Structures are given as C-alpha cells and as structure tokens.
Amino acid sequence: MVSMLHKLDQRFHAVTCCPMELLDAVLKRRMVRNFSERPLEPRIVMDILNCATHAPSAGFTQGWEFIVISDPHRRQQFWEKTTTAEWRTTSRRSEGLRRAPVLILPLTNPDIYFERYSLPDKAASGLGKDNPNKQEAWPVPYWWTDLAFAVMLMLIRATDLGVACAFMGIFRGEKEVLKELGVPQGYRPIGVVALGYPQSPDPPSPSLRRGRRSVDEIVHYEGWNR
Amino acid sequence: MVSMLHKLDQRFHAVTCCPMELLDAVLKRRMVRNFSERPLEPRIVMDILNCATHAPSAGFTQGWEFIVISDPHRRQQFWEKTTTAEWRTTSRRSEGLRRAPVLILPLTNPDIYFERYSLPDKAASGLGKDNPNKQEAWPVPYWWTDLAFAVMLMLIRATDLGVACAFMGIFRGEKEVLKELGVPQGYRPIGVVALGYPQSPDPPSPSLRRGRRSVDEIVHYEGWNR
C-alpha cells in the first residue's frame, strides 16, 4: 500500500529508507547485542523519537522525557555506572553492546500524572495530587506503561528503518547516572534503548530457548480456561 | 516493499486486508469510542493476539495472558461491574463503547517474573522468589511494561487491519470482574482493549486539546536541559 500519511509529516526525516509493512517490522525486531562502530545519523534518532511521541497515554498526559547520549565519554560513564567491572571484562556481550553509538534513557515521573489528574476534567477521578494515597489509587502504574508504549514504537520504528536496537533494564547505578545527567527529582528511567548498526556475530539470547508462547497458550475465551 | 516474512507465517490469518507501512499504522491509530454493531471475525482477533506474542519481555518471561470476551451477556457484565449506572445512562461515549463486539483483558502476574528470575540463568540477579524484598528489588515493574509492549502491538496491528480499537484503564470493579471470569490469584489486568468496527460520529477525546508534545519538548541531549 502506498504510504500517504507520513509523506505529509515533515518531522519524519528517514522515510526514504525503504519502510516495511508493520508486521514485517514486528517479526524482524530483535534485541541486537553486537553493534558496529558505524555512527547513527541524527535525523534517524529524531525520526525514532518522533515515532515515540505517537504512543497513547492516560489522559494524553505524555509524561515522558528522553535523554539522548551519544558523546563517547558520557556513554562510557553510563556503562561504568550501570555494570560491573567483571561484566565489562568477561561478558561476551559487553564490547558489542558498549559500541552502540546512541543510548536513549526514556524517563517518566508519576507526579506529572498526579498533576494531570488534578485538572478539572479529571479531578473527579480521585487520582490527582490531593489524594494522600494517590500512588495506590492508580490500579496500574500508567506512567510506566505509557512509557513502555513509546519504547515499543521506538523499537519497531528502528527496525523499520534498518537500525539495530536493544532495550535493557538498568539494575544498578541508576541514582548515579541520573545525578550525572542532571535529571530532576522524581524522574526515573524505564531502562535504556541502545541504537546503531549491527555486526556479526550476534548469537540469539539464551532466554529465547524457552520458546515463544503461542496464541493457544495465552488466550482464554470468555473466562479463564473456559 | 513487498512483505515476505508474514506470508510464511500461517498464524497470521488476516494479511489479505491491505496491510500498511508501519508509520501509517502508528499515525492512523486512535482510540475509537463509537463502535458499530458489526461483529469482528475470530481470525482477526487471533491475528491481533498473535502479533502481541511478538512483544519483547524481560528474560523472555512472556508473563502475559489474554481473556477474550465476546459473549454479549459477559460483555454486559463487564460494563456493569466496571462503570457506574450514571455513566452508562448519561455519558455520550457509553453506548458506542459498549457496542464493541470484542473486549480483551490483558493480564500479568509478578509471580511469573519472580519464578523466571529464580531459574539458574537469572538466579544471580537477586530478583527471584527467594528474595523477601523481591517486589522492591525490581527497579521497574517489568510485568506491567512487558504487557504494555504487547498491548501497543495489538493496537497498531488492529489499525493495520482496518479494525477499530480502544485501550482503557479499569478504575472500578476489577476484583468482581476477575472473580466472575475465574482468574487465578495474582493475575491483574492492565486495562481493557476494545475491538470492532467504527461508526460516526466519534469526536476526538477532549484530552487531545492539550496538544501533542513535540520532539523538541521531550528530547534532551547528553543530559537534562543540555
């Protein structure tokens, strides 16, 4: 099908790269862990981030911020704070991952959601800043899930553009990283998105040996196990 | 570009419906709130759920389950438990939303993640079931964000197939709904995905008047505000 919409949207800069049908991008997406030295064009980074802004969000809060780290020294600092020296020297993944030319920290802050749900059109929800139990009043931490929507769009848009990507949790050093980057109190990262170009070899994650759960396994009709 | 991958994948049943380029689906996706009476073909529902299974997940845990509700009586029960009588009789959205022929509850359970991270290849993480503070040890509730990845893929695949969709939080009656559906202890819904076909009129959500935050607003280079 001829693409019409995004040709009218000048904010997408990278549409000349032979875009895929949606399902191809979904099926082709994988977590790349061996990046080449090739730098990533800034217009590609902007395109991927622009795609992220089209994620849905509760009350259209859009409580997301993105820090792009491409400076080699800052990237090195990120890895030194978030990983152990042992991992950096012994993991077979370490060098390939650390070569990724662009790291993006997607951040969110529940306070932005509490503010949004304090506005007149949402105040009746009881989910605003005046509720002393506001954190527990939200049935789901929609600040995290909205940000995940945005990250999912980044990963498949990257794939669509022939860009390698990985998403990883930050399990250590988060506070030091946020301080170093001057992130205001309250904002936290969902993890890190690494972007760049792939190189061989890049063996699949051992976790994939678990196998993908099929539709038959995960779907229930009209009720659990019915 | 000619789609190759999914033509080889027989689990995708609905690929004849003129699939879109990825960016078209991302830009065209919206929360539809006025559904027609037209039923949704089961093969379309399966295709959308199959797409969801291609979301990434921490440790490939895939801790997701999906309950499909299409039975009119069960759908009515869902709305009666999750909304107020006042909303059902006075909201301009109520009738259009309640016409949606298919409701899907995507569910997750942190215990599945604790089990996964107790296995030999992840035990060193300290995120497994034997950690008395396991819930707090996870920096981000990845059970929710993985499920959000899956929901995001459902929403854009629906759009890709010309199917109307909406995602909404469940802010009341969750416990009664889960009990009625026989959902085991520990599983909770991220919200509900409504699927079907659209009809007019379907005015945009008033929240959209807030405006979409542009890339310039949300992106920081090399550090916050730098």
pLDDT digits (tens, 9 = 90+) for B22-80: 999 999 999 999 999 999 999 999 999 999 999 999 999 999 999 999 999 999 999 99
Residue type, B5: L
User: CB–CB of A21 and B23 under 8 A?
Assistant: no
What value does the mean pLDDT take over residues A169-187?
98
Q: How far apart are CA B13 and CA B6, in angstroms?
A: 9
A73 close contact with B: CB closer than 8 A:
no
Residue type, A160: D
User: CB–CB of B29 and A54 under 8 A?
Assistant: yes
Q: Which tokens in the block code for residue A82? A: 């978030």
**What is the signed CA dihedral for B96, B97, B101, B102, rounded to 10 degrees?**
160
Q: What is the pLDDT of residue A12?
A: 67
A139 close contact with B: CB closer than 8 A:
yes
Could you give the maximum distance between any two Cα atoms of chain B, in Å?
Answer: 56
On chain A, the residues whose CB falls within 8 A of the CB of B162 are none
Instruction: pLDDT band for A9, please (50, 70, 90 cuts).
Output: low
A224 close contact with B: CB closer than 8 A:
yes
On chain B, the residues whose CB falls within 8 A of the CB of A213 are 53, 62, 64
Q: What share of chain B is helix, strand, coil (3-state, %, to 5)?
A: 40, 15, 45
Q: Which tokens in the block code for residue B191? A: 């919200």
User: CB–CB of A182 and B68 under 8 A?
Assistant: no
Q: Which of B3, B21, B29, B49 to mutate to test the interface with A (most CBs of A within 10 A)?
A: B21
Q: What is the pLDDT of residue A204?
A: 94
On chain A, the residues whose CB falls within 8 A of the CB of B167 are 56
Q: Which long-range contacts (CB under 8 A, 24 or more apart) does A133-138 make?
A: A135/A110, A138/A110, A138/A113
Q: How far apart are CA A157 and CA A163, in angstroms?
A: 8
How far apart are the CA of B171 and the nearest CA of chain A, in angstroms?
6
A29 close contact with B: CB closer than 8 A:
yes
Beta bridge partners of A188: A108
- Work out the burial of residue B89: count CB atoms within 10 Å of its CB; fewer than 13 is exposed, 13-18 middle, 19 or more buried: exposed
A199 close contact with B: CB closer than 8 A:
no
Could you give the maximum distance between any two Cα atoms of chain A, in Å?
Answer: 56
Q: How far apart are CA B39 and CA A149, in angstroms?
A: 27
What does the pLDDT look like over B140-183, one tens digit per residue?
999 999 999 999 999 999 999 999 999 999 999 999 999 999 99
Q: Are B51 and B153 in contact (CB under 8 A)?
A: yes
B85 close contact with A: CB closer than 8 A:
no
pLDDT above 90: percentage of residues in chain A: 90
B75 close contact with A: CB closer than 8 A:
no
The size of the A-B interface in CB pairs under 8 A is 273
End-to-end Cα, chain B, rounded Å: 39
Q: How far apart are CA B8 and CA B90, in angstroms?
A: 48
Q: At what angle do helices A42-52 and A142-160 cross, to 10 degrees?
A: 140
Q: How far apart are CA B184 and CA A115, in angstroms?
A: 34
Q: What is the pLDDT of residue A20?
A: 84
Beta bridge partners of B104: B68, B193
Q: Distance of CA B46 to CAs A179, A218, B10, B104, B109, Å?
A: 46, 11, 11, 11, 22
Q: Check whether B189 has a pLDDT greater than 60.
A: yes
Q: Check whether B92 has a pLDDT greater than 80.
A: yes
The ipTM of this complex is: 0.94
DSSP state of A190: S
Mean pLDDT across chain B: 93
Q: What is the pLDDT of residue A2?
A: 40
Q: Check whether B5 has a pLDDT greater than 60.
A: no
Q: At what angle do helices B42-52 and B142-160 cross, to 10 degrees?
A: 140
Q: Are B145 and A142 in contact (CB under 8 A)?
A: no
Instruction: pLDDT band for B16, please (50, 70, 90 cuts).
Output: very low
B131 close contact with A: CB closer than 8 A:
no
Query: Going by C-beta distance under 8 Å and a sequence separation of 6 or more, which residues neighbour residue B173?
Result: B81, B82, B83
Of A60, A83, A58, A78, nearest to A68 by C-alpha is A78
